[in-house]
């Protein structure tokens, strides 16, 4: 059975094409404005250093001619985006050393990449909305599809910052629009549509390994076997080819990393051998479902609607039913994977597709019970999405204000440290909001792990060329003290500087102090940040901090 686009279960707005297009513009415009405003409150050197700095640094590594050094998500498209930003800027600025140039403009590069991601996702919402609106001839269906961008504050946050999740969601939304077109159009999907679907999958999978379950959406193409086969071949070849060109580690090492995760119960392949830790699995699943009950309810409704159609018609090959069934399996896969390796934003892809699944659910219910007014179903689904979006934006605003306050404290303390001890060694680390420290996380996640000594030395020399003040990092993860990315010691700092000031997000002990406690430092706590001083009274930093109000 084919699905006629002239009757897709939504109020028909084809008589007013301009009005429909204007309505479809509303959600992408709102999303772009909200994203740019939220991003402005999220200092790139502040709370959100991880994972942003890793992708900025990796993009700089690629722009310097070394290729990608990250394969663990794999984030290939995100790295490529940053590389393009750097190379494009360098074409205009024509710097003598692109590494020094990138380090000097590190934060600006991150902000530019964030903006590009926001434009990509907004573009995906607009293009996807136009496709869905044209297929269903309904602006309401298009806006319902677009609502997935506002499904949860945690998802909205990761869509906004520089992370693979942002591009993954943009790709997934556009891919879902193609899925809806293939499932709902009165004509069978063309072979070219299958090729487009394969290319979208290749880009999505190269962006985040979590995109893999969405390969199941290829069932929407089964009305044309050639389109289905074209999607499979294009997706496989596209992913391998794109990865080998831009990030070979995805193929050579990335899948081994996935096996490590799948065979160990802890985060990132740590902990004891095994797939699932049932001590936390079920509680994680309950928390995920409770986080966005509308998403869970949508996929339950999708399962019920698909089953009801099969029972009523005995037709298991109907494209809408197959697509709904695929959506349910995709959601279940994400639910299990996230419950095992818990972080709410791992559900982003399935959450973002909630709007598209709702469109299919409304269509299926109308096919099952034509007597139900299409306007009633549309208003119910739209109202639930509107409430969810409003809650997301309200919560995101609260998070932005809280983050901004924390970042302001970090920046103020950084100024206070310089004012109290301008000649002191200024040592900081992650999570203290030090504006000067954010590059270190990027270094740790790229060059420190996978770079060779020549690469590391080039970046260290470039930093010294770009900045007059040394970058001193106290890393409690690796237990390494760094000076311009090179390992050093507190004994050496004590010999080179008249005093030392160290900021840490938590109290240090013999294991985490990296030798600092051997110097018997003074210690105080300023706005929750632990400050240690050698050769200078900690009270002087406190006094300087109070004067910085």
pLDDT at 268 over 90: no
| Rounded Cα distance, 167 and 112, in Å | 14
At residue 548, the 3 state secondary structure works out as coil
pLDDT tens for 274-317 read 888 888 899 999 999 999 999 999 999 999 999 999 999 988 88
pLDDT tens for 405-424 read 999 999 999 999 999 999 99
Q: Of 98-107, 117-126, 367-376, 383-392, which gets the smallest average pLDDT? A: 367-376
pLDDT tens for 156-175 read 999 999 999 999 999 999 99
Question: Residue 17 has what pLDDT?
Answer: 65
Mean pLDDT of the chain: 93
- Maximum CA pair distance of the chain? 84
| Angle between the N-to-C axes of helices 164-184 and 319-340, in degrees from 0 to 180, rounded to the nearest 10 | 160
Query: Contact 537/500 with Cβ under 8 angstroms?
Result: no
Length of the chain, in residues = 549
pLDDT tens for 200-258 read 999 999 999 999 999 999 999 999 999 999 999 999 999 999 999 999 999 999 888 88
Residue 315 token pair: 């037709």
Query: Contact 440/480 with Cβ under 8 angstroms?
Result: no
pLDDT at 1 over 50: no
Render the burial of 191-202: b for 16+ CB within 10 Å, e for the rest: bebbbbbbbbbb
pLDDT above 70 coverage of the chain, percent = 96
- Answer left, alpha or beta for residue 75, where phi above 0 means left and psi between -120 and 50 means alpha: left
pLDDT at 5 over 50: no
Sorted by where each begins, the domain ranges of the chain are 17-399, 407-548
Read off the pLDDT band of 6 (50, 70, 90): very low
Query: Contact 511/427 with Cβ under 8 angstroms?
Result: no
Read off the pLDDT band of 477 (50, 70, 90): confident
Backbone angles phi, psi at 254, to 5 degrees: -60, -40
Question: Residue 274 has what pLDDT?
Answer: 83
Question: Residue 16 has what pLDDT?
Answer: 63
User: What are the CA-CA distances from residue 515 to residues 257, 491, 521 (Å)?
Assistant: 33, 8, 11
Question: Residue 361 has what pLDDT?
Answer: 96
pLDDT above 90 coverage of the chain, percent = 82
Question: Residue 210 has what pLDDT?
Answer: 93
pLDDT tens for 67-105 read 999 998 999 999 999 999 999 999 999 999 999 999 999
pTM over 0.85: yes
Question: Residue 262 has what pLDDT?
Answer: 85
| Rounded Cα distance, 68 and 60, in Å | 9
Higher pLDDT, 268 or 143: 143
pLDDT tens for 331-356 read 999 999 999 887 888 999 999 999 99
Closest C-alpha to 347, from 147, 217, 216, 211 = 211
DSSP assignment of 29-47, as one string? Answer: HHHHHHHHHHHHHS-TTTG
């Amino acid at each position: 059975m084919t699905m006629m686009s002239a009757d897709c279960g939504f109020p028909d707005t084809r008589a007013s094409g301009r009005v429909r297009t204007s309505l479809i513009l509303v959600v992408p415009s709102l999303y772009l404005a909200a994203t740019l405003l939220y991003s402005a409150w999220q200092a790139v050197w502040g709370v959100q250093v991880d994972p942003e700095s890793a992708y900025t640094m990796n993009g700089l590594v690629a722009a310097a001619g070394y290729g990608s050094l990250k394969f663990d998500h794999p984030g290939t498209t995100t790295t490529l985006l940053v590389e393009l930003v750097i190379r494009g800027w360098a074409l205009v600025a024509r710097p003598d050393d692109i590494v020094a140039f990138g380090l000097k403009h590190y934060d600006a590069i991150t902000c530019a990449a964030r903006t590009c991601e926001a434009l990509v996702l907004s573009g995906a919402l607009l293009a996807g909305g136009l496709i869905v609106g044209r297929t269903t001839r309904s602006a309401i269906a298009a806006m319902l599809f677009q609502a997935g961008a506002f499904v949860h504050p945690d998802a909205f946050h990761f869509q906004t910052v520089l992370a693979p999740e942002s591009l993954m969601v943009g790709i997934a939304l556009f891919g879902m629009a193609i899925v809806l077109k293939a499932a709902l159009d009165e004509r069978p999907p063309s072979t070219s549509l299958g090729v487009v679907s394969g290319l979208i999958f290749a880009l999505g999978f190269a962006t985040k390994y979590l995109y893999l379950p969405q390969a199941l959406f290829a069932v929407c193409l089964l009305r044309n076997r050639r389109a289905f086969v074209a999607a499979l071949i294009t997706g496989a070849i596209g992913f391998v080819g794109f990865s080998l060109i831009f990030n070979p580690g995805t193929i050579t090492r990335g899948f081994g990393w996935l096996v490590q995760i799948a065979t160990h119960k802890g985060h990132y392949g740590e902990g004891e051998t095994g797939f699932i830790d049932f001590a936390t699995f079920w509680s994680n699943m309950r928390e995920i479902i409770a986080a966005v009950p509308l998403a869970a309810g949508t996929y339950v409704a999708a399962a019920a609607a698909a089953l009801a159609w099969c029972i009523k018609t005995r037709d298991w090959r109907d494209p809408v039913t197959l697509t709904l069934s695929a959506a349910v399996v995709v959601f279940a896969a994400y639910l299990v994977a996230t419950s095992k390796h818990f972080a709410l934003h791992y559900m982003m892809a399935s959450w973002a597709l909630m709007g598209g699944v709702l469109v299919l659910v409304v269509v299926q219910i109308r096919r099952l019970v034509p007597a139900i007014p299409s306007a009633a179903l549309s208003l119910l689904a739209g109202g639930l999405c509107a409430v969810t979006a409003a809650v997301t934006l309200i919560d995101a605003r609260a998070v932005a204000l809280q983050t901004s306050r924390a970042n302001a404290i970090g920046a103020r303390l950084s100024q206070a440290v310089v004012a109290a001890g301008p000649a002191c060694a200024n040592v900081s680390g992650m999570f203290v909001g030090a504006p000067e420290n954010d590059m270190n996380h990027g270094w740790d996640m790229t060059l420190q792990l996978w770079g060779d000594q020549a690469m590391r030395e080039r970046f260290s020399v470039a930093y010294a060329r770009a900045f007059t003040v040394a970058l001193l990092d106290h890393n409690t993860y690796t237990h390494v003290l760094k000076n311009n990315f090179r390992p050093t010691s507190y004994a050496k700092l004590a010999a080179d500087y008249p005093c030392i000031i160290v900021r840490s997000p938590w109290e240090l002990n013999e294991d985490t102090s990296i030798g600092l406690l051997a110097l018997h430092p003074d210690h105080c706590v300023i706005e929750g940040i632990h400050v240690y001083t050698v050769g200078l009274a900690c009270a002087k930093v406190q006094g300087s901090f109070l004067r910085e109000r």
